[in-house]
Structure 1
Amino acid sequence: MMNDSPEFERLLAAIEDGFARNPRLIVAIAGPPGAGKSTVADRLEQALTARGLPASILPMDGFHMDNGLLEERGLLKRKGAPETFDVRGLIDLIRAIRTGVEVLAPVFDRDRELAIAAARAIPAGPLIVIAEGNYLLLDEAPWNGLADAFDLTVLLAPPEEELRRRLDARWRHYRLSEAAILEKLDGNDLPNGRRVLSNSRSADFRFSDA
């Protein structure tokens, strides 16, 4: 989905129309690991800013549980699965954003594998907030507590072979061994992606070529 594609333009038009009616618009971009969520969020932010519209990105990854807590719960190898996030913290933060006040959000540092508290400010006032993350549309508790949180929703659903290619490149960038990459892909990332695609609510927009 390129910036000048008809699909991208339709999405931009829907966001602009929604913002004209709701000056605190929250857009969700969901999809499997490797689907291109952060890339699409960045493109949207840039395109909206170029049109003179205020936009800010809220990454879901800032709500990763800490490795120490995951280890205590026997979930460290499953890091990135739906059960390894502070979902209630995310829900509370999105509710605060809805009120129109400035909100400080955590950001995930992938190099250090940890979330940094209050690392990003979501400004007060009229704003298009682009929330992006795997499970924003997941129709499972407690994630379904987000069901009424968004004004417009997008699901990215590339073919699994494309997801595998992208994720393989991601983990090679972090210099993981072949065995570790295979374990991440087949033991966590791709099963999580299938769960997203099979158990997510319908979205206003669905793209397979993000």
Structure 2
Amino acid sequence: METIDLAALADRARGLAAGSGRRILGIAGPPGAGKSTLAARIVERLDGRAVLVPMDGFHLAGAELERLGRAGRKGAPDTFDAAGYAALLRRLRDPGGQDAVYAPAFDRALEEPVAGSVRVPADIPLVVTEGNYLLLDEGPWAPVRGLLDEVWFLDADPGLRVRRLVDRHVRFGKPRPHAERWVTGSDERNARLVEQHRDRADLVVRLR
């Protein structure tokens, strides 16, 4: 694992963007590691040459999770449309002459995915995608790693990561006791699964 600063990671992303054709950079890691923050900062530093497409846009809708009996463990691998995410990555790699590809995003205030939220113009050289399960090697997640040119695994201090998660759930409306139970149960089960696949990343980093 490397301890590295944001400037060095942005330089590495610029190198990817300078290659020929469309490149896709993945940022993986357990819940609360800071993936979305890092991804947004990388995109910001690339000055219009990158677009952020989050994996969380492929959360199944709440009504579908209820129908499937999975609402109580939202965030687990089988509560996403993993095949749909892989299909989007294929489109992003080869837009087929389209002016733009549209991707969904996840609205944390609604706790629902929102279709067509992210526009990826054809001339953007780098797509940055982030999420928990980019490195999973089983089921419908298995193709994802091969569709990414490079993957970084973002490590974080476990105590800090758990505090961030609890605070996030509280910020978006959960009572603190409920948030703490959710994090120590569902979120931490998912974190252990994500950690098992960190060796498939090109780079394991902890931000300085």
Partner of 2:125: 127
1:21-100 correspondence to structure 2 within 5 Å: 21-49=19-47, 54-100=49-95
Counterpart of 2:207 in 1: which secondary structure?
coil
Deviates more, 1:79-88 or 1:139-148: 139-148
Conservation of the 8 A alpha-carbon contact between 2:4 and 2:206:
no
Partner of 1:147: 145
% identical equivalent positions = 37
Partner of 2:200: 202
How much has 1:169 moved relative to structure 2? 1.1
Deviates more, 1:57-66 or 1:110-119: 110-119
Conservation of the 8 A alpha-carbon contact between 1:23 and 1:126:
no
Question: Aligned in 2, Cα 1:205/1:7: closer, same or farther, shift over 3 Å?
Answer: farther
- For structure 2, the residue ranges without an aligned partner over 5 or more in a row are none
Deviations 1:133-158 (A, max 9, x none): 11111222221111211111111111
Counterpart of 2:33 in 1: which secondary structure?
coil
Question: Aligned in 2, Cα 1:76/1:153: closer, same or farther, shift over 3 Å?
Answer: same
Question: Aligned in 2, Cα 1:8/1:205: closer, same or farther, shift over 3 Å?
Answer: farther
Deviates more, 1:37-46 or 1:176-185: 176-185
Counterpart of 2:139 in 1: which secondary structure?
coil
Deviations 1:74-107 (A, max 9, x none): 1001111111000111111110011134211111
Conservation of the 8 A alpha-carbon contact between 1:137 and 1:147:
yes
Deviations 1:160-201 (A, max 9, x none): 111111111112212322331122112211111111011345
Matched pairs, number: 203
Counterpart of 2:115 in 1: which secondary structure?
strand
Deviates more, 1:112-121 or 1:80-89: 112-121
Query: Given the two structures, how large is their TM-score scaled by the length of structure 2?
Result: 0.90
How much has 1:45 moved relative to structure 2? 0.8
Deviations 1:103-122 (A, max 9, x none): 11111111111111111111
Conservation of the 8 A alpha-carbon contact between 1:31 and 1:155:
yes
Deviates more, 1:141-150 or 1:171-180: 171-180
Counterpart of 1:119 in 2: which secondary structure?
strand
- For structure 1, the residue ranges without an aligned partner over 5 or more in a row are none
Counterpart of 1:170 in 2: which secondary structure?
helix
Pick one of 163, 175, 183 that aligns with 2:161: 163
Matches of 1:76 and 1:157 in 2, distance apart? Answer: 27
How much has 1:20 moved relative to structure 2? 2.5
RMSD: 1.8
Conservation of the 8 A alpha-carbon contact between 1:11 and 1:205:
no
How much has 1:6 moved relative to structure 2? 5.1
1:120 maps to amino acid:
V
Question: Aligned in 2, Cα 1:54/1:145: closer, same or farther, shift over 3 Å?
Answer: same
Counterpart of 1:116 in 2: which secondary structure?
strand
Query: Given the two structures, how large is their TM-score scaled by the length of structure 1?
Result: 0.89
